[in-house]
Amino acid sequence: MAVINSCHCFHSLSSSPPPSSISGSLHSSPTPRPRISASTAPSHMDLHNQGRSKFMEFPYVSAPHKKLMVDLVSTVENRLDSQLFPCTLPHDVQSYHNQNGTSHASLHIRSGHKSSPIDFVLGSWIHCELPTGGALNITSLSTYLNSSTDAPNFLIEIIRNSPTSLIVILDLPPRKDLVLIPDYLKTFYEDTKLEAQRQLLEKVPEVKPYFSSSLYIRSVVSPTAIMVRIEAEAVERLEEIIEDYVDPISKEVLRIWLEQCACVKREVNDEAEKNYLQKRDKFVKTKTIEIDLASSLPRLFGPETADRVMAAVKKYFSS
């Protein structure tokens, strides 16, 4: 979110100012991951369909915001569906809330087939009423690749804490050192013209750079990461910016990821390199749990719900 691909802004929910950190991009010890067997497929499909339906509602955001998220998730699923298992998260993890009903969330995770370069795809939304009034809404979609490839992951997170203000995080987080491996920088960030997408959005007058207060978060994004705050004078103008700029730019970045990262063979055969990727990926995912989930979920949803969600997520993030 965000929850989980970025639950990152959760620590700011107790106050009215905009969130101050983001989630990161997110392989290795052989921790079992939920899979589908022939005997349980029907019930798992029911879980998947019910949970996906709830997730795809994006019930607390505006029409342009919802359309963008539905289009992005649908594009990923349509392109990668044959490589993905249905979501097998328990019903009370795919959708959950706190006792007094001020916080609601939906989480949808699909593992990749063993023969696929996809580790898992994670989508989420969260709605939290703020103590000072108003609400914080976070929607996110992350895709994670496994150690069969070294290509970047994909991340988008949209954080809206007022009718006229939001933060956009959009990136292909690198999985290798860009200084030591300049070809990686050229292949995924220069040749793909990602910088042009960032510059296009930043030309909008209402768009300003956003700097996370977390140095760790700032260290895991790419040089072409879009991290901006958009503050408009009217709700209508903010929706217009989402429709005219955030929507097409986000879809172009996702297209680049699908065509240059997810669907291009970049096999990692060297064991040392594979071990490096596994170690790095696992560390980043562990940090995501520490920074986002462990500190935020108990406060937002209570310890019982937080433990249940954390246990389910760790099956994906610890592998």
Which residue's entry shows tokens 């954080």?
159
Name the class of domain 7-18+37-317. Answer: alpha beta
Domain locations along the chain: 7-18+37-317
Q: What is the pLDDT of residues 204-261, one digit of tens each?
A: 999 999 998 888 888 999 999 999 999 999 999 999 999 999 999 999 999 999 999 9
Quick check: helix, strand or coil at residue 59? coil
Can you point out the beta strands (E) in 77-211? 95-97, 103-111, 118-129, 135-145, 154-162, 165-171, 207-209
Upper half-sphere CA count for residue 287 (Cβ side, 13 Å)? 17
CA–CA dist 67, 292 (Å, integer): 26
Q: How does residue 3 score in pLDDT terms, banded at 50, 70 and 90? A: very low
Which residue's entry shows tokens 């989420």?
124
User: Is residue 95 within 8 Å of 106, Cβ to Cβ?
Assistant: yes
User: Is residue 145 within 8 Å of 131, Cβ to Cβ?
Assistant: no
Q: What is the pLDDT of residues 63-120, one digit of tens each?
A: 999 999 999 999 999 999 999 999 999 999 999 999 999 999 999 999 999 999 999 9
Mean pLDDT of 188-208: 96
* Lowest-confidence segment of 18-32, 156-170, 198-212 by average pLDDT: 18-32
* Lowest-confidence segment of 3-7, 293-297, 306-310 by average pLDDT: 3-7
CA 134 to the chain's CA centroid: 24
pTM of this structure:
0.86
pLDDT of residue 319: 65
CA 175 to each of CA 62, 129, 220, 315: distance values in angstroms, whole numbers, following the listed order: 33, 35, 9, 21
CA–CA dist 27, 284 (Å, integer): 9
Can you point out the beta strands (E) in 177-288? 207-209, 226-231
Quick check: helix, strand or coil at residue 108? strand
